[in-house]
Structure 1
Amino acid sequence: MLRAMKPAAVQEFFRRLSAANPEPKSELEYINPYTLLVAVVLSAQATDVGVNKATGPLFQIVTTPQQMVDLGEERLRGYIKTIGLFNTKAKNVIRLSEILVAQYGGEVPRDREALETLPGVGRKTANVVLNVAFGEETIAVDTHIFRVGNRTGLAPGKTPDAVEAKLLKVVPKAYRRHAHHWLILHGRYVCKARKPDCLVCPVSDLCGFKDKILPAAVV
């Protein structure tokens, strides 16, 4: 396994990402905590762009759990049919909306355990909602963060949970609020899966990736 990045390098890693993008935002479009929750549930195995295309019209008429229940599963499927696994996701969204109305007064709970009991909501989704909607210092490890954590040496781990645990230990307190977004965006646009763009990477000199492409030496 790649050697873990040293604390001073981790500090500099996030300082640079922060300097380049001080207030990173989710690329999922939402109106309130509930619509964020729906968007994140729909985003499983789908792109943010694809989800936004579907939820744009949907969120013009639905912004609360009760409105979603009133819409119904069949009509919801019509809005999200372009998204993968839309049948299962429609069932989950309607059911979680019913639970929010019945048990939480139509509000999204600010509690991990409560969130994870909702249909279609796992640890990653709960972490996104807690971070984006409520400002909690959580890190949702998706494929991008898992790759960046392992490839760079920032937080090597064999599972998403292992990478998350390491990130929560090594990310400096000052950067923990936005670490989730910086790492996702870095993995999505720079440290890409097939061909990382090392030549424009702002942290390439801190990265432990043995196959990174560096500028040719000046003769």
Structure 2
Amino acid sequence: MEQRGSGTGRRAQRPRSAADGGGALARDALIGAIAGTAATVAMTLAADALFRRLPARERYPLPPRELTERALAAAGAREVFDEPGLQAATLASHFGFGAASGALYGLLARPSSRGTGRLGGAPAALEGVGFAIGVWTASYFGWVPAFGLLRSASSHPARRNALMLSVHLVWGSSLGLVAQGLSRALKPIAGGELRDR
């Protein structure tokens, strides 16, 4: 917020407070979450197209369904869900994870309209791809097998691994570009002084 400078006709910036930093973090996390959700749409459509190219013996549900069903079973809630319910739960967990991962990206990259964030100064799409490779690696070689939800990706069929890595690249590039675009759009959509009162 700005205040009038005394007698100069110019606006003076009010001193920044600790609360300002919290608002910036919330804004960047929200930008990331929205971008993560949008990127999950692109990822899901790419997964559908690539899934159809797998050999018939490898066309069983992809990890979002496997993870959702195993998590529900571990919680003792699997039998509560019929097939449409499982599909709904899978979509909710898939898009929820995409949004949460996107929020983390927003906090790390701090999207900027200059085309680069804070993950090394690379173009936004490349920053997103780098982040997505990290998410895929940490998930399918890290916490997912550690919690016993799926075997490590090293024991999955190579074509399915290629599919999952490819769709994470789609997710990451979309994430970076959408986060950059949303950050740029803040000025006309949500920034500045109100005049139409």
Q: RCO higher in 1 or 2 (8 Å CA, sep ≥ 6)?
A: 2
- Alignment TM-score, normalising by the size of structure 1: 0.22
Structure with more of its chain in helix, by fraction? 2
